[in-house]
Amino acid sequence: MSTVLVFLDHPGASLAKSERELLSLGASLGDVAVALAETAGQAYLDGVGSYGVQEYYRPDSAAVAEVLVAGKAAFLAEAVRTSGASIVLLGNSYEAKEIAARVGIRLEAGVITDVVGLESGLVATKADFAGSYTVNCRVTTDVAILTVKPNSFEAVEAGTPSSPREVPIPVELPSSAARITGRAEKPASGRPELTEARVIVAGGRGVDGNFGPLEELADALGGAVGASRAATDAGWIEHSAQIGQTGKTVSPQLYVSVGISGAIQQKAGMQTSKVIVAINKDADSPVFEIADFGIVGDLFTVLPQATEEIRKRGL
Protein backbone atom coordinates (compact mmCIF):
# COMPACT_ATOMS: atom_id res chain seq x y z
CA MET A 1 0.00 0.00 0.00
CA SER A 2 0.99 3.62 -0.48
CA THR A 3 2.34 5.57 2.46
CA VAL A 4 0.24 8.68 3.12
CA LEU A 5 1.70 11.53 5.16
CA VAL A 6 -0.77 13.92 6.80
CA PHE A 7 0.60 17.30 7.85
CA LEU A 8 -0.96 18.71 11.06
CA ASP A 9 0.18 22.24 11.76
CA HIS A 10 -1.24 23.49 15.07
CA PRO A 11 -2.12 20.62 17.46
CA GLY A 12 -4.76 21.50 20.05
CA ALA A 13 -6.08 19.68 23.10
CA SER A 14 -7.86 17.24 20.79
CA LEU A 15 -8.23 16.62 17.07
CA ALA A 16 -10.20 19.26 15.18
CA LYS A 17 -12.89 18.14 12.75
CA SER A 18 -10.80 19.07 9.70
CA GLU A 19 -7.87 17.08 11.10
CA ARG A 20 -10.09 14.02 11.57
CA GLU A 21 -11.25 14.41 7.97
CA LEU A 22 -7.64 14.43 6.73
CA LEU A 23 -6.73 11.39 8.82
CA SER A 24 -9.82 9.52 7.62
CA LEU A 25 -9.00 10.32 4.00
CA GLY A 26 -5.39 9.31 4.52
CA ALA A 27 -6.37 5.98 6.08
CA SER A 28 -8.60 5.25 3.07
CA LEU A 29 -5.67 5.79 0.67
CA GLY A 30 -2.95 3.74 2.37
CA ASP A 31 -0.80 3.40 5.47
CA VAL A 32 -1.10 6.76 7.16
CA ALA A 33 1.65 8.60 9.06
CA VAL A 34 1.61 12.10 10.49
CA ALA A 35 3.99 15.08 10.41
CA LEU A 36 3.49 17.39 13.40
CA ALA A 37 4.97 20.86 13.09
CA GLU A 38 4.54 21.61 16.80
CA THR A 39 4.56 19.74 20.11
CA ALA A 40 1.36 17.85 20.93
CA GLY A 41 -0.09 16.52 24.18
CA GLN A 42 -0.68 12.83 24.89
CA ALA A 43 -4.47 13.07 24.40
CA TYR A 44 -3.92 14.54 20.94
CA LEU A 45 -1.39 11.84 20.04
CA ASP A 46 -3.80 9.15 21.25
CA GLY A 47 -6.41 10.63 18.94
CA VAL A 48 -3.96 10.52 16.04
CA GLY A 49 -3.12 6.90 16.86
CA SER A 50 -6.78 5.91 16.83
CA TYR A 51 -6.77 6.40 13.04
CA GLY A 52 -4.18 3.67 12.55
CA VAL A 53 -1.14 5.96 12.69
CA GLN A 54 1.87 3.95 13.85
CA GLU A 55 4.41 6.75 13.87
CA TYR A 56 4.57 10.50 13.72
CA TYR A 57 7.37 12.79 12.63
CA ARG A 58 8.36 15.95 14.44
CA PRO A 59 11.18 18.48 13.96
CA ASP A 60 14.14 17.92 16.28
CA SER A 61 14.12 21.62 17.12
CA ALA A 62 11.30 23.64 18.64
CA ALA A 63 12.56 26.58 16.57
CA VAL A 64 10.48 25.36 13.61
CA ALA A 65 7.34 26.51 15.44
CA GLU A 66 8.80 30.02 15.68
CA VAL A 67 9.50 30.29 11.95
CA LEU A 68 6.91 31.02 9.30
CA VAL A 69 6.17 28.73 6.36
CA ALA A 70 9.76 28.27 5.11
CA GLY A 71 10.76 26.33 8.22
CA LYS A 72 7.66 24.15 8.20
CA ALA A 73 8.15 23.41 4.50
CA ALA A 74 11.73 22.34 5.17
CA PHE A 75 10.53 20.01 7.93
CA LEU A 76 7.69 18.51 5.87
CA ALA A 77 9.98 17.87 2.90
CA GLU A 78 12.39 15.96 5.16
CA ALA A 79 9.47 14.02 6.68
CA VAL A 80 8.32 12.99 3.19
CA ARG A 81 11.81 11.77 2.32
CA THR A 82 12.16 9.86 5.62
CA SER A 83 8.72 8.23 5.44
CA GLY A 84 8.89 7.43 1.74
CA ALA A 85 5.35 8.82 1.37
CA SER A 86 3.88 9.01 -2.12
CA ILE A 87 0.83 11.04 -1.03
CA VAL A 88 0.95 14.14 1.19
CA LEU A 89 -2.25 15.68 2.59
CA LEU A 90 -2.57 19.17 4.08
CA GLY A 91 -5.39 21.50 5.06
CA ASN A 92 -6.47 24.25 2.69
CA SER A 93 -5.50 27.44 4.54
CA TYR A 94 -3.32 30.01 2.80
CA GLU A 95 -0.41 28.92 4.97
CA ALA A 96 -0.96 25.25 4.12
CA LYS A 97 -1.08 26.07 0.41
CA GLU A 98 2.22 27.96 0.62
CA ILE A 99 3.83 25.11 2.55
CA ALA A 100 2.57 22.67 -0.09
CA ALA A 101 4.02 24.81 -2.88
CA ARG A 102 7.41 25.09 -1.18
CA VAL A 103 7.53 21.33 -0.52
CA GLY A 104 6.56 20.70 -4.14
CA ILE A 105 9.56 22.74 -5.29
CA ARG A 106 11.92 20.96 -2.88
CA LEU A 107 10.73 17.49 -3.96
CA GLU A 108 9.92 18.30 -7.60
CA ALA A 109 6.43 17.01 -6.82
CA GLY A 110 3.05 17.95 -8.27
CA VAL A 111 0.68 19.99 -6.12
CA ILE A 112 -3.13 20.22 -6.31
CA THR A 113 -4.93 22.73 -4.07
CA ASP A 114 -8.61 23.21 -3.14
CA VAL A 115 -9.41 19.50 -3.44
CA VAL A 116 -13.10 18.68 -2.79
CA GLY A 117 -13.25 15.14 -4.20
CA LEU A 118 -10.94 12.22 -4.92
CA GLU A 119 -11.56 9.28 -7.25
CA SER A 120 -9.62 6.12 -8.06
CA GLY A 121 -6.22 6.76 -9.55
CA LEU A 122 -5.89 9.81 -7.28
CA VAL A 123 -7.94 11.96 -9.67
CA ALA A 124 -8.81 15.10 -7.72
CA THR A 125 -11.83 17.36 -8.18
CA LYS A 126 -11.33 21.08 -7.55
CA ALA A 127 -12.78 24.47 -8.44
CA ASP A 128 -10.64 26.57 -10.77
CA PHE A 129 -10.49 30.03 -12.37
CA ALA A 130 -12.09 31.75 -9.37
CA GLY A 131 -14.72 29.03 -9.15
CA SER A 132 -15.87 29.38 -12.75
CA TYR A 133 -15.06 25.75 -13.54
CA THR A 134 -14.93 22.42 -11.73
CA VAL A 135 -12.02 20.39 -13.03
CA ASN A 136 -10.57 16.92 -12.56
CA CYS A 137 -6.81 16.63 -12.41
CA ARG A 138 -4.10 14.18 -11.42
CA VAL A 139 -0.49 14.46 -10.30
CA THR A 140 1.93 12.61 -12.59
CA THR A 141 5.03 12.81 -10.36
CA ASP A 142 6.09 10.12 -7.87
CA VAL A 143 4.86 12.24 -4.95
CA ALA A 144 1.40 13.86 -4.96
CA ILE A 145 0.77 16.82 -2.64
CA LEU A 146 -2.88 17.71 -2.04
CA THR A 147 -4.48 20.47 0.03
CA VAL A 148 -8.01 19.47 0.99
CA LYS A 149 -10.98 21.73 1.71
CA PRO A 150 -12.75 21.06 5.05
CA ASN A 151 -16.18 19.36 4.90
CA SER A 152 -15.28 17.64 1.62
CA PHE A 153 -14.73 14.17 3.12
CA GLU A 154 -16.41 12.40 6.01
CA ALA A 155 -14.54 12.05 9.28
CA VAL A 156 -15.03 8.37 10.14
CA GLU A 157 -15.30 7.22 13.72
CA ALA A 158 -11.91 6.79 15.33
CA GLY A 159 -10.77 3.42 16.64
CA THR A 160 -9.13 2.49 19.92
CA PRO A 161 -6.74 5.21 21.14
CA SER A 162 -3.08 4.27 20.82
CA SER A 163 0.21 6.12 21.02
CA PRO A 164 2.16 6.26 17.75
CA ARG A 165 5.96 6.12 17.82
CA GLU A 166 7.83 9.43 17.67
CA VAL A 167 10.43 9.93 14.94
CA PRO A 168 12.51 13.13 15.27
CA ILE A 169 13.49 14.78 11.97
CA PRO A 170 16.61 16.99 11.75
CA VAL A 171 15.73 20.25 10.02
CA GLU A 172 18.06 22.90 8.67
CA LEU A 173 16.11 26.13 8.92
CA PRO A 174 16.58 28.68 6.13
CA SER A 175 18.68 31.59 7.36
CA SER A 176 16.39 34.09 5.66
CA ALA A 177 13.14 32.70 7.08
CA ALA A 178 10.86 35.20 8.84
CA ARG A 179 10.53 34.65 12.59
CA ILE A 180 7.42 34.99 14.77
CA THR A 181 8.08 37.76 17.30
CA GLY A 182 4.83 37.65 19.25
CA ARG A 183 1.46 35.96 19.59
CA ALA A 184 -1.93 37.27 20.71
CA GLU A 185 -4.80 35.06 21.81
CA LYS A 186 -7.93 35.63 19.74
CA PRO A 187 -11.06 36.03 21.91
CA ALA A 188 -13.27 32.94 21.67
CA SER A 189 -16.63 33.57 20.02
CA GLY A 190 -18.15 30.22 20.92
CA ARG A 191 -18.80 29.59 17.22
CA PRO A 192 -16.97 27.02 15.07
CA GLU A 193 -13.93 28.00 13.01
CA LEU A 194 -15.10 29.50 9.73
CA THR A 195 -13.23 27.08 7.46
CA GLU A 196 -14.50 24.06 9.42
CA ALA A 197 -18.11 25.09 10.03
CA ARG A 198 -20.87 22.91 8.57
CA VAL A 199 -23.17 25.96 8.51
CA ILE A 200 -22.13 29.51 7.56
CA VAL A 201 -24.26 32.67 7.52
CA ALA A 202 -22.43 35.35 5.52
CA GLY A 203 -23.29 39.01 5.09
CA GLY A 204 -22.33 41.65 2.57
CA ARG A 205 -22.99 45.26 1.72
CA GLY A 206 -26.73 44.73 2.18
CA VAL A 207 -26.47 44.24 5.96
CA ASP A 208 -25.55 47.93 6.25
CA GLY A 209 -23.28 47.31 9.24
CA ASN A 210 -25.77 45.30 11.29
CA PHE A 211 -24.64 41.68 11.66
CA GLY A 212 -26.93 41.06 14.66
CA PRO A 213 -29.64 39.12 12.76
CA LEU A 214 -26.98 37.03 11.03
CA GLU A 215 -25.28 36.16 14.31
CA GLU A 216 -28.60 35.11 15.83
CA LEU A 217 -29.38 32.83 12.88
CA ALA A 218 -25.86 31.37 12.94
CA ASP A 219 -26.12 30.65 16.67
CA ALA A 220 -29.52 29.00 16.20
CA LEU A 221 -27.99 26.72 13.55
CA GLY A 222 -24.72 26.13 15.43
CA GLY A 223 -22.82 27.81 12.62
CA ALA A 224 -20.22 30.48 11.92
CA VAL A 225 -20.53 34.05 10.62
CA GLY A 226 -18.72 35.12 7.45
CA ALA A 227 -18.64 38.22 5.28
CA SER A 228 -17.84 39.62 1.87
CA ARG A 229 -14.86 41.87 1.27
CA ALA A 230 -17.16 44.90 1.11
CA ALA A 231 -18.33 44.23 4.66
CA THR A 232 -14.86 43.68 6.09
CA ASP A 233 -13.39 46.68 4.27
CA ALA A 234 -16.18 48.81 5.75
CA GLY A 235 -15.05 47.73 9.23
CA TRP A 236 -18.35 46.05 10.10
CA ILE A 237 -16.66 42.75 10.96
CA GLU A 238 -13.06 41.56 11.34
CA HIS A 239 -11.09 40.66 8.21
CA SER A 240 -10.65 37.07 9.42
CA ALA A 241 -14.35 36.57 8.54
CA GLN A 242 -13.83 37.41 4.86
CA ILE A 243 -14.84 34.74 2.34
CA GLY A 244 -13.89 34.93 -1.31
CA GLN A 245 -11.04 35.03 -3.79
CA THR A 246 -8.96 37.28 -1.49
CA GLY A 247 -10.36 35.78 1.71
CA LYS A 248 -11.03 32.30 3.02
CA THR A 249 -12.35 29.42 0.97
CA VAL A 250 -15.14 27.44 2.61
CA SER A 251 -17.19 24.38 1.75
CA PRO A 252 -19.95 23.97 4.37
CA GLN A 253 -23.02 21.77 4.19
CA LEU A 254 -25.18 24.93 4.29
CA TYR A 255 -24.18 28.43 3.19
CA VAL A 256 -26.64 31.29 3.76
CA SER A 257 -25.74 34.35 1.67
CA VAL A 258 -27.32 37.51 3.08
CA GLY A 259 -27.19 40.83 1.26
CA ILE A 260 -24.29 39.71 -0.96
CA SER A 261 -24.45 40.37 -4.70
CA GLY A 262 -22.55 37.21 -5.58
CA ALA A 263 -19.77 38.69 -7.71
CA ILE A 264 -17.20 36.21 -9.02
CA GLN A 265 -14.75 37.05 -6.22
CA GLN A 266 -17.30 35.91 -3.64
CA LYS A 267 -18.27 32.80 -5.62
CA ALA A 268 -14.64 31.67 -5.65
CA GLY A 269 -14.71 31.25 -1.88
CA MET A 270 -18.02 29.45 -1.36
CA GLN A 271 -19.60 27.90 -4.43
CA THR A 272 -18.50 24.36 -3.51
CA SER A 273 -20.90 24.56 -0.55
CA LYS A 274 -23.35 21.64 -0.56
CA VAL A 275 -26.50 23.80 -0.27
CA ILE A 276 -26.60 27.56 -0.92
CA VAL A 277 -29.48 29.76 0.27
CA ALA A 278 -29.48 33.37 -0.96
CA ILE A 279 -31.40 36.28 0.59
CA ASN A 280 -31.33 39.55 -1.33
CA LYS A 281 -33.72 42.41 -2.14
CA ASP A 282 -32.48 42.51 -5.75
CA ALA A 283 -34.12 39.73 -7.76
CA ASP A 284 -31.46 40.16 -10.47
CA SER A 285 -28.53 39.64 -8.09
CA PRO A 286 -25.92 37.22 -9.57
CA VAL A 287 -25.97 35.15 -6.37
CA PHE A 288 -29.30 33.63 -7.39
CA GLU A 289 -27.57 31.99 -10.37
CA ILE A 290 -25.69 29.60 -8.06
CA ALA A 291 -28.20 29.40 -5.20
CA ASP A 292 -30.17 26.21 -4.55
CA PHE A 293 -32.85 28.26 -2.81
CA GLY A 294 -33.46 31.99 -3.17
CA ILE A 295 -35.49 34.48 -1.18
CA VAL A 296 -36.18 37.93 -2.60
CA GLY A 297 -36.84 40.09 0.43
CA ASP A 298 -35.59 42.34 3.20
CA LEU A 299 -33.05 40.44 5.31
CA PHE A 300 -34.15 42.30 8.44
CA THR A 301 -37.60 40.77 7.99
CA VAL A 302 -36.59 37.34 6.68
CA LEU A 303 -33.80 36.44 9.12
CA PRO A 304 -35.68 37.03 12.40
CA GLN A 305 -38.58 34.93 11.10
CA ALA A 306 -36.22 32.12 10.09
CA THR A 307 -34.39 32.22 13.42
CA GLU A 308 -37.64 32.13 15.39
CA GLU A 309 -38.93 29.17 13.39
CA ILE A 310 -35.68 27.25 13.76
CA ARG A 311 -35.66 27.75 17.53
CA LYS A 312 -39.32 26.82 17.75
CA ARG A 313 -38.65 23.53 15.96
CA GLY A 314 -35.51 22.88 18.03
CA LEU A 315 -33.37 22.38 14.94
Residues 134 and 209 in one domain: no
* 276 pLDDT higher than 80: yes
174-185 pLDDT, tens digit each? 776 666 666 666
* 280 pLDDT higher than 90: yes
- C-alpha distances (whole Å) from 190 to each of 127, 253, 299 are 30, 19, 24
Name the average pLDDT for the chain: 89
Would you say residue 212 lies in a domain?
A: yes
- pLDDT for residue 162: 84
- Longest Cα–Cα distance in the chain: 59
Instruction: Give strand ranges (E) for the chain.
Output: 3-8, 31-36, 55-59, 87-90, 110-119, 123-128, 133-137, 144-148, 165-169, 199-203, 224-227, 254-258, 275-280, 293-296
Would you say residue 178 lies in a domain?
A: no
At 70, is the pLDDT very low, low, confident or very high (cuts 50, 70, 90)? confident
Residues 102 and 163 in one domain: yes
Full residue range of the structural domain in which residue 308 is found: 199-313
At 4, is the pLDDT very low, low, confident or very high (cuts 50, 70, 90)? very high
**3-class state of residue 139 by DSSP:** coil
Would you say residue 180 lies in a domain?
A: no
- pLDDT for residue 184: 67
52-66 pLDDT, tens digit each? 999 999 998 777 777
* 314 pLDDT higher than 90: no
Residues 32 and 129 in one domain: yes
What mean pLDDT do residues 289-297 have?
Answer: 94
Residue pair 67/3 in contact by the 8 Å Cβ criterion: no
221-262 pLDDT, tens digit each? 999 999 999 999 999 999 989 998 778 888 899 999 999 987
pTM of the predicted protein model: 0.77
At 125, is the pLDDT very low, low, confident or very high (cuts 50, 70, 90)? very high
How many domains, in total, are found in the chain?
2
Residues 26 and 94 in one domain: yes
Residue pair 8/35 in contact by the 8 Å Cβ criterion: yes
Would you say residue 255 lies in a domain?
A: yes
* 51 pLDDT higher than 70: yes
Contacts of range 206-215, beta carbons closer than 8 Å, 24 or more positions apart: 206/258, 206/259, 206/260, 206/280, 206/281, 206/299, 207/231, 207/236, 207/258, 207/259, 207/299, 208/259, 209/234, 209/236, 210/300, 211/236, 211/237, 213/299, 213/300, 213/303, 213/304, 213/307, 214/258, 214/303
Q: What is the domain-level CATH number for residue 77?
A: 3.40.50.620
d(CA 119, CA 124): 6
